[in-house]
Structure 1
């Protein structure tokens, strides 16, 4: 019988809460160390360790049937998936921030062609288009906070859980784009194929949250 594949973040602060959530639902990962594919205590399920950023794409295209990742990443990757459960961990906010000394205090103050550094170019472009603002979006891989220090960008859009990193880098928040938590995402075809098993898993996870 074909196993149901569930993708788990391979590192970071949401990895262990994901493993713990699945364990409470009766799916204990058995071979976590240095492996991408792991057996679980439930013979119907196989765990796949992947980058949280890639999990929305894996689920969208059916490389895996289920995956745990952030709502922000699902939106950024434009993944057409079912978000079955808000798992209520990995809480974070996607914010717009400027240097402390910037004259920009609100979105209305943002000049035309302002450069914005971010790991979330899709969300950022769409947000500023909705605001009627023509901006230049620079995609960076992490440490967006560095861009204003190097005069690479006048603003950043970044994910934050406490705002501490922004404050340490003398940045202040002028707007919020979205609130995010981790979600159990499901491929649409997989949901129809394994509806009974996935519905049961959904119920077990919800009881354990």
Structure 2
């Protein structure tokens, strides 16, 4: 319905927590996939972006599940889809974007990767890697991450590098199209 509405009339505006944040990039990937145009309205963080959607300043926004879930539960917002490949454990009744748009394989989710400076000695990297893997296995850590709609993976540095390389390849066209630069 949102895509149809965006195709059918005056341009809609969407909120994000700022230029280049996950919600901005996810929205732009959605717009590219659906061949729809909307105007981006960047806010200074997820709270003001959420308030803009709640207040009707903008039509929608890709905002973090924990940020908007209280407003969805209260009936003030409608959750249309989650950006991840798999349904969210926090909002299991909300379809994935791929399912909502009937586009199998569509995934506009993000990965968080623990990083260290390139000059970090290999022994230190190994120690960090070891402790990080141990921490990611702890039930209380996994539960806390789940409350933020995050899934603990825990991997080696080589696996993390593979993830980062794949993510850069996936997001590069969107970043280039938008003309975003690291600051």
- TM-score relative to the length of structure 1: 0.39
Higher relative contact order (Cα pairs below 8 Å, separated by 6+ residues): 1
Structure number with larger C-alpha Rg: 1
- TM-score relative to the length of structure 2: 0.44
